[in-house]
Amino acid sequence: MNLLYHGEVEIPIGKVLLKGDLVIPQNPKGIIIFSHGSGSSRLSPRNKMVASYLQRKNFGTLLFDLLTPAEDVHYQLRFDIWLLTKRLIGATQWLEKQSIADEYPLGYFGASTGAASALKAAAYLPQICAVVSRGGRPDLAFDMLEKVEAPTLLIAGSLDYDVLQLNKEAYIRLNCEKKLEVIEGATHLFEEQGTMEKVCEKAGEWFGKYLQPVPEVKN
């Protein structure tokens, strides 16, 4: 895979500096920004698996830490969805200012509680072209779901009973292009054989469909 950029980045947001890993293939279809779940980080093995799959499908990816190491020791901050949303918005705006990435359509991939911040951020940023939620907690974003315009794919495991029900409720509240994909035999972490592969495939299809280059305006 030929890469335009591959390296660690530092994202200044307010008074903090957040570490991230940015990968951009040559001529990418778009760039996916990841929002990890509580207690996780940019090093989440499941998110890295999805990111690797998307890179092979010629998407750029940005995985970054929503909290600093000092902040992450405070349990309540891991569930401060508004703080995490502001961090995600800040990282998005930072990426849009980078000359290497400023021309490509953007999408969000959120996992667990990170899906709530992805949905909230998408409600504030109309330029987000698509959102994918894996085992998400969209109930933590119920107050903003009706404002989400980006096509949204909710992925839940058939054996993750409580979260699946929350995703069904979120699906009803969403007014955008939407789909609820239930992965049979999967629990919350998609640890069962072949289930994460299905998550990757569904996410790739969704981003492939909705992350389209912004058409040039002709005078």
What confidence category does residue 71 fall into, taking pLDDT thresholds of 50, 70 and 90? confident
Stretch 71-83: mean pLDDT: 85
Domain ranges in the chain? 3-210
Cross-strand pairs, 60: 31
Please write down the long-range contacts of 203-206, taking CB distance under 8 Å and 24 or more positions apart. 203/50, 203/53, 203/54, 203/109, 203/132, 203/134, 203/153, 203/155, 204/53, 204/54, 204/57, 204/59, 206/130, 206/132, 206/151, 206/153, 206/179
Confidence of residue 217 (pLDDT cuts 50, 70, 90): very low
Q: What is the SS3 assignment for 136?
A: coil
The answer on pLDDT for 58 being more than 70 is yes
The verdict on pTM exceeding 0.85 is yes
The pLDDT assigned to 90 comes to 97
Taking all residues of the chain, what is their mean pLDDT, rounded to a whole number?
A: 93
Identify the pLDDT of residue 218: 43
| pLDDT on residue 79 | 81
- Homologous superfamily in CATH for domain 3-210: Alpha/Beta hydrolase fold, catalytic domain (3.40.50.1820)
Q: Taking the mean position of all CA atoms in its chain, how far away is CA 11?
A: 17
Q: Model confidence over 10-45: pLDDT tens digits? A: 999 999 999 999 999 999 999 999 999 776 778 888
Position 210 scores a pLDDT of 97
pLDDT at residue 139 is higher than 60: yes
Tell me: the pLDDT tens digits for 203-212? Answer: 999 999 999 7
For residue 87, the model assigns a pLDDT of 96
